[in-house]
Structure 1
Amino acid sequence: MGPEVSDNRTISVTDFHPCYEIHDFSYILSKTPSVICVLLYSFLFLLSVVCVCGNLLVIISIIYFKQLHSPTNFLILSLAVADILVGIVVFPLSMVFSLSSCLFHEDLFCKIRSSLDISLSTCSILNLCCISIDRYYAVCQPLTYKAKINNRVAVLMILVCWGGSALIGIGVILAGLNNDTCDEVCSFDTLMYNTIGPILSFYLPVIIMLCIYFKIFLVAQKQARRIMNTTHKSAVTVSKTERKATKTLAIVLGVFLLCWTPFFLCITFPSLSNSAPVSVMETLNWLTLSNSMLNPFIYAFFYSWFRSAIRMIVTGKIFKGDFTNTTLQK
């Protein structure tokens, strides 16, 4: 995603980007890249590879093993698809058409990169919002959970996430990236891109999720006190499993906020984006993209079923027979 920046802002070549140079009043990739540029792009390429591989493992695990075919995991699958598309599409496009090079002279590819960036980031947070709703019913209303949140409902949630994010991405781009051809109407475009867009795609869903997880936390505390007074083993096991899943997905939300909040604050308040060095904005942009790489590591750390699935996939065991009905360690 790229912030709106006024044309009266001046930057030096060194402040601009280590991999670009000025040529005929435009910014192009340097034909003789510096050592810093090579190291930077090698690191970003590594992030892209790790992002794709990690999320691919999540996708294969949930699709292959029938034990993992649940509404919660289908929402996680949708999140992993959005994240892997970031690694496959947005990472390479952002390396060639960086935030810095697209600040002033945006062309078609800059707009495509920004549109995909906005759409996929919005899709990620809408998926997280749906996951929080799923967790609310699982923890707060366990008796009616299976009736209210089934596979059909999960698929409907996923369709809303992808359809809504596509509309927001296209709408924000049409309104916010036409400053080179507009006059008075640009004030509305900037308002749409810097205020309305972030509210719809970030702030509003985040507020909803924080409220839901706070409610879940309160209910989980009450359940924990009840468990201490019960001797029913199955009830204790189910409650612990649900609370562990909720804790893991809350951490996923927390990591998302740490990666995305600084960038959204900068593009929401023009005084911050205009005063921040280009290198800072570039760093914040890559921090947001790196979030797509981190989720699989969170799953691997907290979910034993994911670690078991990874071992079977990496060792090639799933290619030596039919293990779709294998019971993975919980």
Structure 2
Amino acid sequence: MLGESESTTCTVCCCTLTNKILMVVFMVLLIFAILFGNSVTLAVVFGTKHFHTPQGYLKASLAVADLAVGIFVVPLSVYAEVTLMLNGSIPEWTTRNSKNTTFHPCNFIGPMFAGCTLVSITTIFLLTVERSIAVLKPLHKESVITRKRTTILIVLSWVASFFLAVSPIMFSKEIALEYNPCSRMCNYALGATEFPSQAWNILLLFPAFDFTLLGGTMVINVISLTTIRQHSKRRKHLAETDCQSAMKPTFSDIKAAKTIGTLTVAFTASFTPIAVFVVGNVIGNEWCNFSFFAFWILTTNSCWNVIIYSVGDQKFRHRAHQLFISSQTQNAPQN
């Protein structure tokens, strides 16, 4: 719980100087990977007219959430761990929680990480719904999915996600934020030895909300991919007429649906350990080593999206390659 010192907690990543150095190197590399990958995504989406679509806006929203993790969340952990290695003692603020400090960095970083995670989940859900409409109701896609409606949904998802992220602090005096010596991140924690039922219920809002959305996302993906499979089988046996072609999802829609399906699987796999940890934590299990891997597996997901887009979307890959070649040409020395 709160107030645990560095000396009493030795995780598998931080018990020796070598492990600490490797951990910091991993964090620094992760920052660069997150910043580079999501900057490429934003450059492709905003710099290419083809991607000025509802799907493109949703991918941009997801990239912004991931960028925030790389800009705010991970650097604080790097600062705390580098300070520990150089000075031989952890920063004073890491030994206190947000209830006992006038200004605590975790008051900002904790909700930021939670809010961005929730934004990612809701955005993946919206991407899945958008692709399912394109696959199941291709004739209604343009009228149902508009850029204005998508923009409104993106704004609502950010507002709702960050409201949920700050709700534990707003609605419970027993919950505080601390720099956890196990996870090496700012986490929600209890300020009391006993676990009040109200605080228990509030903390369980996160896995309940997340798994509800992820479960719905998986179901929608299964329906969409099943429809795509049936369409592929029919296409092998039937010669499509012009009328039939107009009623079928385009090849681009099918590829995009498969890409979003891969995105969903990747996020679900990275989020599941943290959800298991939260549930285990509220019933009294500390799981110190597991918490480190759970939180950082989730964090690494912030740099995977651009790879998934590049593998699954040929146009995205081609445009990203063009941007890279263009930047190389501009940076080349002039004769």
Q: Deviations over 1:34-80 (max 9, x none)?
A: 23212210111101101110110000110011111111111111111
Structure 1 residue 240, shift from structure 2 partner: 2.5
- Structure 2, unaligned runs of 5 or more: 82-89, 99-103, 177-188, 331-335
What residue number does 2:270 align with? Answer: 259
Q: 1:138 and 1:109 mapped to 2: Cα distance?
A: 43
Q: 1:287 and 1:165 mapped to 2: Cα distance?
A: 21
What residue number does 1:177 align with? Answer: 175
| Within-5 A mapping of 1:1-330 | 5=1, 12-15=8-11, 18=14, 34-96=17-79, 105-107=96-98, 108-174=104-170, 175=172, 177-178=175-176, 186-193=196-203, 195-200=204-209, 202-228=210-236, 229-232=238-241, 235=245, 239-270=250-281, 274-276=285-287, 278-316=288-326
Deviates more, 1:257-266 or 1:225-234: 225-234
Q: Is the 8 A contact 1:62 1:77 kept in 2?
A: yes
| Structure 1 residue matching 2:239: 3-state secondary structure | coil
Q: 2:95 and 2:198 mapped to 1: Cα distance?
A: 19
Q: 2:50 and 2:79 mapped to 1: Cα distance?
A: 41
Q: Deviations over 1:224-279 (max 9, x none)?
A: 23322133489399532211111111101100011110111110233777252x12
Query: Which one has more relative contact order, counting CA pairs under 8 Å at least 6 apart?
Result: 1
CA RMSD in angstroms, aligned pairs only:
3.2
What residue number does 1:328 align with? Answer: none
Deviates more, 1:147-156 or 1:177-186: 177-186
Distance 1:259 1:133, change over 3 A: same
Distance 1:17 1:111, change over 3 A: farther
What residue number does 1:29 align with? Answer: none
Structure 1 residue 18, shift from structure 2 partner: 2.1
Q: Is the 8 A contact 2:138 2:249 kept in 1?
A: no
| Structure 2 residue matching 1:144: 3-state secondary structure | helix
- Structure 1, unaligned runs of 5 or more: 20-32, 321-330
Q: Deviations over 1:94-133 (max 9, x none)?
A: 33458x9999732321232211111000000000010011
Distance 1:249 1:181, change over 3 A: closer
Q: 2:94 and 2:222 mapped to 1: Cα distance?
A: 39
Structure 1 residue 177, shift from structure 2 partner: 2.6
Distance 1:53 1:220, change over 3 A: same
Distance 1:172 1:181, change over 3 A: closer
Q: 1:318 and 1:6 mapped to 2: Cα distance?
A: 50
**Identity score, percent:** 19
Distance 1:72 1:180, change over 3 A: closer
Q: Is the 8 A contact 2:5 2:95 kept in 1?
A: no
Structure 1 residue 162, shift from structure 2 partner: 0.6
Q: 2:250 and 2:46 mapped to 1: Cα distance?
A: 26
TM-score (norm 2): 0.79
Q: Is the 8 A contact 1:267 1:273 kept in 2?
A: no
Q: 2:25 and 2:232 mapped to 1: Cα distance?
A: 48
Q: 2:190 and 2:286 mapped to 1: Cα distance?
A: 22
How many residues end up aligned between the 2 structures?
299
| Structure 2 residue matching 1:39: 3-state secondary structure | helix
Q: 2:328 and 2:62 mapped to 1: Cα distance?
A: 24
